[in-house]
Amino acid sequence: MFTQREVPDTALEREPGAIVVCKHCYTASGVDKGKFIKVSEWEDIPTAKDVHEWTGYPISNNCDTTIIFRSYGLPEGYTLESGSVESWADAYDRVGHLLWPAFCRWAEDGVVVEDANNVPDVATFREQFCGWWQDFEEYALRFSEDTGLMDGVDADSQLRIYFDWSSWINDLSYDYTVSATRTCEGGVFVYRNF
């Protein structure tokens, strides 16, 4: 139906995850040493002992719990919490590394459906995502070809000659969300509005 280009290589971000730190060390003395854990490698929130073994920072009797200090690789406005790690890991697995930047932009644009753990719905993303394009006009022209907008119209027909492509593309744009990518190649992600 639609030809979709892959996201440029420079758009690829690392797998989402979080840094886990010792709660006592962070709150008592501001020590934010911890370990970055990818969502695919997450089993349970590590213990304070685990964090201290990873960092080599001395452990005290007060070091008994850990917190998720900072999330990475998630859409802006979302954080990783111990109860949502499994949902994020599933979303990352289903979306895949190549489309993860497009998924994050879609979620950041706010036109999303979320599951019980406030993780954007992958199935809705897949329905709405139309690919990476240099600009919306390129997408619209391909859409017109794929849907046969001018099929059956003679090459020398007045309709074909005087068709106002700019106006048609502008009207079509109301059915889509177009988000600029954060890559040096530029381009846009195109999503259908439902």
- Pairing state of beta strands 176-180 and 66-72? unpaired
Q: pTM value?
A: 0.80
For residue 181, give the nearest of 77, 112, 99, 110 by alpha carbon: 99
Q: What is the pLDDT along the chain (194 residues), one digit of tens a residue?
A: 223 334 334 334 578 999 999 999 898 888 888 888 998 888 888 889 999 998 888 888 998 999 988 889 999 989 888 888 899 999 999 999 999 999 999 999 876 778 888 899 999 999 999 999 999 999 999 999 999 888 888 878 888 888 899 999 999 999 999 988 776 678 999 999 97
